[in-house]
Amino acid sequence: MLDTILLVLQIVLVLFGAYQLFLTFFGWKRPKKKTQHPPQKSFAVLVAAHNEEEVVGALLENLKQLDYPKELYDVFVICDNCTDSTADIVRSHGLYACERNNPNLRGKGYAIEWMLKELWKRPRQYDAVVMFDADNLVGHDYLRHMNDDLCSGSKVIQAYLDTKNPNDSWVTASYAISYYFANRFWQVPRTNLGLANYLGGTGMCFETNLLKQIGWGATSLVEDLEFSMRCVKLGIKPTMNYYAKVYDEKPLTFRASVKQRLRWMQGHFDVCRRYLFPLLWQGLKERSWTKIDAAFYSANVYNYFFGSILSVAIWIKAIVPGGTDMNLYELAPIVNVLAISIYVMLPISLFIEKASGKTYKYLIAYPIFMLSWWPITVYAFFTQNNKQWSHTKHTRVIRLEEVQSKQVS
């Protein structure tokens, strides 16, 4: 029985790894730019904030300087259960501070759901809603790209997610490396193949009519993945705009990153449990590669989970004198080859995406970051019913000009 289970696990991992490697070949070509349209869409810019007095000011200055007609967008900051001066800072910038106090329903998903209901009550209505986190910075042409995509028919759009502090520590650099790879070899292939892209939690744009029609309804620990799955299930394909840039702050310390990634994985297990089989069944029945791909994407958390178990088993067999009675067959080397092949794509993605030269040196420490996902994922599996949201503290005050100048250098 154990031999059979191990064989099935290896086959599943080989198929997942081969599929991911297959997708990377469609990421070499940049997506075409959408047709440019004159500014015509109006936007409600929502900023989710919980005790973000240290960083929110830099984002607000940034948003006030976007290259888009000022009369076509308004900025609303969701001051969610804040106990600091976040709301006062927002008002000092002449923007809307929307204060929410509900300690029983904590988390970004609940905050967004509340804010949308408040937004629909206002006399002015907008063509689209965009969402950022308080620690973000936004490219000056972001709204122009969203306007182009909306005019071209997109209803749900994800911007290119970059890191605003990639070289602060080996941890932030590891996040940056992951983002470069994901943008180029996860998102771009799906764009080029006409599949659904996936929301990244910030830099997201939604057509207002769609939100009013289907509601938000994404209140899990990973509201972005949950809403992505809801869209695909309803036949709506989120798209990615490769040229609209949003810069996200990453945790400086390993401990903070573990806390954040544990929340992500707990949420991923929850979403996978609810969407994997319905999407897979729909995809097979409708012969929809988009839905099958979405099902595979939701199952990545189990790929990590079983991959960690199998890897430990392989190590035990190699290290324990005389080996063990576990029959790992001959597929383990194939799993390793696929893993190494994907790892080789990391420096390639850094080169293609024109990452800072400093980031390359952190490739040495990157395997440690990746291995740390294993215990995090295993622990998340056994605690996946935890719905308690945890806040990641942000302290890195950087202006957009600083980020862009460092990238140029």
pLDDT at residue 408 in the model: 43
pLDDT at position 406, please?
56
pLDDT tens sequence across 3-26: 677 777 777 888 888 898 899 999
Per DSSP, which regions of 62-121 are E strands? 73-80, 96-100
> pLDDT value at position 318?
63
Helices (H), 287-409: 289-298, 300-319, 332-352, 357-360, 366-371, 373-382, 400-408
Query: By CB neighbour count within 10 A (0-12 exposed, 13-18 middle, 19+ buried), where does 219 fall?
Result: middle
Q: Sign of dihedral through CA atoms 162, 166, 171, 177?
A: positive
Whether residue 138 contacts residue 59, with contact meaning beta carbons closer than 8 Å, is answered with yes
Q: In what order do the strands lie in the sheet with 137-138?
A: 96-100, 73-80, 43-49, 128-133, 204-207, 156-163, 239-248, 137-138
Positive or negative torsion for Cα 347, 348, 349, 350: positive
Indicate whether this model's pTM tops 0.85: yes
pLDDT tens per residue across span 105-153: 888 889 999 999 999 999 999 999 999 999 999 999 999 999 999 999 9
39: CB partners within 8 A, 6+ apart: 68, 69, 72, 143, 144, 147
> Average pLDDT for residues 392-409, to the nearest whole number?
62
Distance between CA atoms of residues 155 and 352, nearest Å: 28
Phi, psi (degrees; rounded to nearest 5) at 85: -100, 25
pLDDT confidence band for 338 (50 / 70 / 90): low
218 band by pLDDT with thresholds 50, 70 and 90: confident
